[in-house]
Structure 1
């Protein structure tokens, strides 16, 4: 039986390939140097589990620097069966990198954002305002996070992007961050995003049941060849949920949101009206 990949092993595979390509080495060259078969190396790069010793040998042949090698070797540690925590405050970890890798591998991305707008759809000023409000990062760290968010948004512009479905809440949309001008720009950005054929935005109206009381910020990631996983966001960390029973609980909430949210066209019309409201408030 073929060993199934996990969020952690798929991320490690992407990282291994990135290290190899940075040195302009072919897959067969790494295999030849380490006396491995090309199929074994290919399996690792495609998400098959790699041992710490083999990973260290692979990275040594790629000339990976010590600090980066230490970070990557942590990915070979045995994961929890239920979840994998990615701390936001670890200076050695890009808090968004793990999510970006999984989003780029996914065929469908389903996002529920009851407390703030989806990161993929935030303008730079909205993102900056959120983090300044929370006071979580230094100015330099915030600049890095903004750039990471911009890089993440390129997913929507690439060829053959995943189908992205975003549930946004009326009470969140009407929460004025900093001033109406910022919110007008942000909501207008959402309106423009609805024109993308692979991007669906559904507004959960204030008249719907208060699902924001029971649902956290989470993203369901579906893949062509792997079981779905969930990325759940907290104030201090992101959690990848692999356990099928736990993942199913998120699908139950997704079904209820699908029933409660406005249809796609009505959601777009709502956003257009709201953008006009903020424009009037700003002027």
Structure 2
């Protein structure tokens, strides 16, 4: 899916959302804000949706009207200067919550979210105890920071419970289902949670079985977010930074990876059945059957 030149960039939408929040905090209507800097209300609306070409001078004027100063002003001015650039490697956010802000914003506006995970259960579908166990068992996160990150994760997950939630296609490698995190009881409840979530009309879960060969997504997890305005965006995250890909050739590669890995995945019904079986076996302590072996035997 190609992106037209007029499509809003991730940076422009991030800036627009921030400017809308500041306007509302300052108590201005769109019309009143426009009058203060001598532009139309429609132009303010386009800035706030990321659809308008950004003039740094107009952003600076609005920030003065909203009485925004200091580091926050400097951050938004810098963002305005880069608003037309596609692709965004965010490296400067000092905290986990700040690194997640753009992802949360994109997920909140998305029509469809497609997430492949190789190592662990997708974040949008994790139980609280499973998420906490990942952080604690990693040995990298200080105790005082665990709860803060839990709040951020819950904020992300709330998008799936809205009245009009985005669609979610969760593609999970079998390895992620078999890796026990937090102990067998925590893992079992996590798998049971997946079965329950798979019954929601906006959520589809696919399991990619280990059939003794690699697959197109073996390089690691990724998320493709489809926006109502603008082309799709690919999110890649690591310990210290976030990467958002917007250039059509890069996005198309991940869309092809998604297509290829879905050809190897179990269907939704078979995936739910397999996950439920794995949850039951965690209780009994019996060896957990490989889904490709089960298919061969069946």
SS of equivalent to 1:211 = coil
Partners of 1:72 and 1:233 lie apart in 2 by 23
1:118 to 115, 122, 135: 122
Identify which range, 47-56 or 77-86, moves more after superposition: 77-86
Identify which range, 5-14 or 56-65, moves more after superposition: 56-65
Matched, 1:195 2:199: yes
Question: Is contact 1:83-1:242 (8 Å) kept?
Answer: yes
Change (3 A) 1:134 1:74: farther
Alignment-derived partner of residue 206 in structure 1: 210
RMSD: 2.4
Task: Specify every segment of 5 or more residues in structure 1 that has no aligned partner in the other structure, as ranges.
Answer: none
* Larger Cα-atom Rg: 2
Partners of 1:35 and 1:234 lie apart in 2 by 43
Change (3 A) 1:264 1:92: closer
1:230 to 218, 229, 234: 234
Please show how residues 260-275 of structure 1 align to structure 2 within 5 Å. 260-275=264-279
SS of equivalent to 2:170 = strand
Identify which range, 236-245 or 54-63, moves more after superposition: 54-63
Q: Normalized against structure 1, the TM-score is what? A: 0.91
Partners of 1:204 and 1:274 lie apart in 2 by 14
Alignment-derived partner of residue 292 in structure 2: none
1:46 to 49, 56, 77: 49
Change (3 A) 1:79 1:69: closer
SS of equivalent to 2:199 = coil
Alignment-derived partner of residue 59 in structure 1: 63
Matched, 1:248 2:248: no
1:70 to 67, 74, 83: 74
In the TM superposition, residue 41 of structure 1 has moved relative to its aligned partner by: 0.7
1:166 to 170, 186, 189: 170
Identify which range, 60-69 or 121-130, moves more after superposition: 60-69
Change (3 A) 1:70 1:128: farther
Alignment-derived partner of residue 103 in structure 1: 107
Question: Is contact 2:97-2:149 (8 Å) kept?
Answer: no
Partners of 1:163 and 1:265 lie apart in 2 by 17
Change (3 A) 1:20 1:79: closer
Alignment-derived partner of residue 9 in structure 1: 12
SS of equivalent to 1:96 = helix
Q: Normalized against structure 2, the TM-score is what? A: 0.87
Partners of 2:212 and 2:106 lie apart in 1 by 31
Matched, 1:144 2:148: yes
Q: Deviations over 1:211-251 (max 9, x none)?
A: 37733221111123311110112232210001100111101
Question: Is contact 1:108-1:221 (8 Å) kept?
Answer: yes
Identify which range, 229-238 or 88-97, moves more after superposition: 88-97
Task: Specify every segment of 5 or more residues in structure 2 that has no aligned partner in the other structure, as ranges.
Answer: 287-298
Aligned residues: 282
In the TM superposition, residue 176 of structure 1 has moved relative to its aligned partner by: 0.8
In the TM superposition, residue 187 of structure 1 has moved relative to its aligned partner by: 0.9
Please show how residues 28-39 of structure 1 align to structure 2 within 5 Å. 28-39=31-42
Question: Is contact 2:216-2:260 (8 Å) kept?
Answer: no
SS of equivalent to 1:94 = helix
SS of equivalent to 2:210 = coil
Identify which range, 252-261 or 58-67, moves more after superposition: 58-67
Alignment-derived partner of residue 290 in structure 2: none
Matched, 1:154 2:166: no
